[in-house]
Amino acid sequence: MASLMVMAFVIVSLFIPAVRPSQADLWKLECLPTVGIVSQTTVIRCSFKGFKKMEIVAVSLTKTTEEKPVFTMDPDSVSGDQRISLENPELGPSLEISDTMFSDEGEYLYNVITDRGAKMAQLSISVTAKYKNPITSTWPEAVKDGGRATLYCNATDGYPAGFIHWFDRSGTNWTINSNTTKATKDSNGLKSVALSSRLTFKTIDAGLAPFRCIVLNSRYVQDGENTISITSQSYGDSNKEILASNTTHIVAGVMVIGSLIVGLLFALLIFRKRNDQRYESGNNSEDILETGNYSPKE
């Protein structure tokens, strides 16, 4: 692989004017380590050291794990990955990759031929994916001051594995009290890590709210955040509500039972009154028969 690269490099070099060896040694090619974001444009920063102004004649970019260059440009043609190009040939040898993919990660050899000679530099590319804004929730759903509470924060679609940190309103970091899990997914070259964090309080202080859930990428750069607020109603007030509710139910029950008792008493009173009337009517009939004062109607 190395011999093929050197041969190609020498052949291309024949197309440029000969330069004095001392002049070629006066400059060098340098490239910075590059971190790209998936689906975005990645710029590979490279520069000439020694001579600020040089004309670029040809370039080639080859992954160290492959023999064939992924990108070449010479005076007659451009070939290879169409996503790769020189950012601005007049300003320098920096490259750019549009629509960055995870497969772009790796170590590369970058060959540049100029009107002052040829140089080679090694560069590295790592690719990350930005986490989506986190989603937060609580259990119970309506958290009460002084009660037990668990705060949840979830972030997805980021890569590599990042971090979730918790802060209260004053900026105090509660992360050490939390528990975070990381689930990695790799499907058809698409990588992602789902982060899930849980912060539990046996008795929560509403004065600490709102709590902030902050998502950091693998380089501790913030990708997103969300906040969680809790109600100011105290846990004791909640118990009072329950007691008041129970009292209301008891009073309502007593009223229903009382109404039934009153109704029964009223029914018994009417029944007894009717029986008394029948009894009096029967006594009057017996008195008439005994005295003989009964006279049938003609």
Per residue in 50-105, pLDDT (tens digit) is 877 789 999 999 999 999 999 999 999 999 999 999 999 988 999 999 999 999 99
Per residue, the 3-state secondary structure of the chain, as one string, reads CHHHHHHHHHHHHCCCCCCCHHHHCCCEEEECCEEEECCCCEEECEEEECCCCCCEEEEEEEECCCCCCCEEECCCCEEECCCEEECCCCCCCCEEECCCCHHHCEEEEEEEEECCEEEEEEEEEEEEECCCCCEEEEECCCCCECCCEEEEEEEEEEECCCEEEEECCCCCECHHHEEEEEEEEEECCEEEEEEEEEEEECCCCHHHCCEEEEEECCCCCEEEEEEECCCCCEHHHHHHHHHHHHHHHHHHHHHHHHHHHHHHHHHHHHHHHHHHHHHHHHHHHHHHHHHCCCCCCC
Delineate the domains of the chain, giving CATH numbers in brackets. 2-128 (2.60.40.10), 135-234 (2.60.40.10)
pLDDT given for residue 10 in this prediction? 43
Token pair listed for 8: 């190609």
Q: Could you give the CA distance from residue 186 to residue 28 in angstroms, rounded to a whole number?
A: 39
pLDDT given for residue 129 in this prediction? 96
Cis peptide before 160 (omega within 30 of 0): yes
Find out whether 105 and 91 touch, Cβ atoms under 8 Å.
no
Mean pLDDT confidence for 271-279: 62
| Tokens 């440029």, located at residue | 16
| Tokens 């600020």, located at residue | 52
Find out whether 208 and 177 touch, Cβ atoms under 8 Å.
no
Q: Is the pLDDT of residue 1 over 60?
A: no
pLDDT given for residue 16 in this prediction? 46
Q: Could you give the CA distance from residue 169 to residue 161 in angstroms, rounded to a whole number?
A: 26
pLDDT given for residue 290 in this prediction? 46
Q: Is the pLDDT of residue 248 over 90?
A: no
Q: Could you give the CA distance from residue 77 to residue 75 in angstroms, rounded to a whole number?
A: 6
Half-sphere exposure of 137 (CA within 13 A, CB side): 7
Give the rounded percent of residues in the chain with a pLDDT score beyond 70: 70
User: What is the overall mean pLDDT for the chain?
Assistant: 82
Mean pLDDT confidence for 184-213: 95
Mean pLDDT confidence for 148-175: 97
Mean pLDDT confidence for 219-246: 71
Mean pLDDT confidence for 214-233: 91
Token pair listed for 5: 């690269």
